[in-house]
Amino acid sequence: MRDVFTAGVLTLSDKGALGEREDRSGPLIKESLEKAGFQVLAYRVIPDDYEEILVVLLDWVDRKGLDLIITTGGTGLSPRDVTPEATRAAIEREVPGIAEAIRLEGLKHTPRAMLSRGIAGIRKQSLIINLPGSPKAVEESMQVILPVLFHALEKIKGVSEECAR
């Protein structure tokens, strides 16, 4: 359908937003997406703040029209981990298989992966996916989702080709 899909990478980190911690996960996502052929048009590091996350997600979909947004961080059990809640408020339809596949892959490496609350879903014609915050988990997660992203985005945008091989 398209030669290039657009993407945004949003890192959620209180310390990162304050400049107290280098964001290593966001740049990993950006690099993976660019190598896969995406045009990454937006990248930000913001605090773990529900309202701020929601505002950015809505802006990137509704105003910028990004095809894909991948978040990193804020998916755990800490009181400030509100990325899934903000994402759920932004999306119109959930795509649970993506988050399930990410957790399943993570469980191959650490039992702590079951504590990730990340979700994935669709808003308008955009796909939003929450990844964990650690660089290692990001690398594992990107390996899982990259093979399906183009197909998922084509389906979201209404390409009616058969899915069967």
* Range 30-53 average pLDDT: 98
* Range 12-33 average pLDDT: 97
- Is the pLDDT score of 164 beyond 70? no
**Ordered domains of the chain (ranges, CATH):** 6-156 (3.40.980.10)
Three-state secondary-structure class, residue 128 = strand
End-to-end CA distance of the chain: 18
Contact yes or no for 95/121 (Cβ under 8 A): yes
* Range 142-149 average pLDDT: 98
Cα 48 to Cα 29: distance, rounded to the nearest angstrom: 18
Q: What share of the chain has pLDDT > 90, as a percent? A: 94
Number of Cβ atoms within 10 Å of the Cβ of 10: 25
Chain centroid to Cα 108, Å, comes to 20
Residue keyed to tokens 């809505």:
58
Residue 123 pairs in a beta bridge with: 126
- Is the pLDDT score of 162 beyond 90? no
